[in-house]
Amino acid sequence: MLTNDNPVVEPPGVNPENPNQPLPTTPSKRSVKAKKNDALDNIQELGTTEIPTAKTNIHVMTIIGQVEGHMVLPPQNKTTKYEHIMPQLVAIEQSPEIEGLLLLLNTVGGDVEAGLAIAEMISSMSKPSVSIVLGGGHSIGVPIAVSATYSFIVESATMTIHPIRLTGLVIGAPSSFDYLEKMQDRVNKFVADHSTISESKWKELLFKMGELSRDIGTSVAGKDAVRYGLINEIGGLSQAQNKLQELIKANKMPKGLKQ
């Protein structure tokens, strides 16, 4: 009788004690490295090791730094690119899961036409929107702030109001100044139409002398922005979220039942 003393070698991945149960797989070095890289990317981009995945019916959008127009700004500048914002606004309007827009502003202003384009799109949305001015909502940031359905500003924030400036080559002809005046009128009308400030008060703040050291105009603090009727209310994140949910609820009601 022949005997075989060699041990039986099971195929890879088979549990010798229970052949029907596969051995637990250990993650490969490549997958572990990929996860580490994802974590590092999150730290670099967001300052956190994981991204919150809570489901919400609100989309948060930031308007920060300079509003970039048709000219690309230097890479060291923090910018908001209108070609990035506009498709997002279209997607928000079309998405059935998103019911409201929360707009966070901390901007020094920027390109007038790009800023007005963003403001016009926000104001024409069928879904409710709420803006919060944090830090600053200067220059063309003012029309963006008032374009929302309801606006908030924190007490420490300011809004600089000044006439439109031109950069680069300007042809010294009457038509150039006529164009500049018409562009300023567009901004004036938009702000007056989307806030409770009167056009006369807005122009008074716009052309005030002695307030700004190197320009004409006014630096408006949080409480004054509310007092002038530029912004609806003093408040921060909690108040803005509550207001937006209130507007969302009202937007869902049949038109005849809305108060």
Residue range 201-224, pLDDT digits in tens: 999 999 998 887 677 889 999 999
Question: Is 194 considered catalytic here?
Answer: no
Average confidence (pLDDT) over 33-62: 69
Instruction: Give the pLDDT confidence score for residue 149 in this predicted structure.
Output: 98
Percent of the chain with pLDDT over 70: 75
Which one of the listed residues 59, 138, 162, 194 is annotated catalytic? 162
Q: What is the mean pLDDT of the chain?
A: 84
**Res. 150 pLDDT band, cuts 50 70 90:** very high
Look at residue 27 and tell me whether its pLDDT is greater than 80: no
Asked whether the predicted pLDDT for residue 105 surpasses 80, the reply is yes
Mean pLDDT of 58-82: 90
Question: Identity (one letter) of the amino acid at 118?
Answer: I
Give residue 72's pLDDT.
86
User: Are 67 and 110 in contact, with CB atoms under 8 Å apart?
Assistant: yes
pLDDT at 189 (0 to 100) = 94
In this predicted structure, what is the pLDDT of residue 128? 97
Nearest residue to 235 via CA among 107, 133, 128, 105: 133
More confident residue, 102 or 43: 102
Do 109 and 141 touch, CB atoms closer than 8 A?
Answer: yes
**Domain range list for the chain:** 58-70+77-257
pLDDT at 147 over 70: yes
d(CA 146, CA 196) in angstroms, rounded, equals: 10
What are the tokens at 155?
């007490």
More confident residue, 140 or 174: 140
State how far the Cα of 158 lies from the Cα of 220, in Å rounded to an integer. 5
DSSP structure string for 137-161: E-TTHHHHHHTSSEEEE-TT-EEEE
Give the least confident one: 18-32, 66-80, 168-182.
18-32
* Catalytic one of 139, 147, 151, 195: 139
What is residue 125's predicted lDDT score, i.e. its pLDDT?
97
What mean pLDDT do residues 79-84 have?
91
Q: What is the CATH number of domain 58-70+77-257?
A: 3.90.226.10
Better-scored residue on pLDDT, 183 or 237:
237
139 part of the active site = yes
